[in-house]
Amino acid sequence: MPQYFNPAEQAALLQEVLARVAQAPFYRPTMPGSGKPLSVEMTNFGPLGWITDQAKGYRYEQTHPVTGAPWPEILGERDGLSGPAEACLVNLYRAGTRMGLHRDQDEEPKDGAVLSVSLGDTALFRFGGSRDVIPPERSSLRQVMC
């Protein structure tokens, strides 16, 4: 939903995010099995954070994998960002960052709210159902200068 938040709301949200990033810095996780670093940098807010590494794979943890500190408080409620979320994933896309087409299907419970914030360069996102039934739709998320 391009420009869902007006410039003032975007600026306020960015300040909230950056204040929490000071407590839980961005880091580059690794793929399960291969240990290859992801190109995206990430952090989390809330009681749980989504992480992945070579040894234990995809999961939720209560602490930052680099600092060992608890994740900062989840973002406050606002239109479009409310619900009983326990985790807020924050991805930072720099030039050349990629993320392959994937489905977030391993998480429990299946009806839990997913809250995420994407920052940085313009990125092409594909959304859709099963590849063999419904082709994914493409949506470009652009960096907005606040």
pLDDT by residue, tens only, the chain of 146 residues: 567 788 898 888 899 999 999 999 999 999 998 999 988 899 999 999 999 999 999 889 999 999 999 999 988 765 555 556 788 999 998 887 766 655 566 556 666 666 788 888 776 666 666 656 666 666 555 554 43
Structural domains of the chain, with CATH: 7-24+35-141 (2.60.120.590)
Distance CA 136, CA 130 (A): 8
Distance CA 99, CA 121 (A): 13
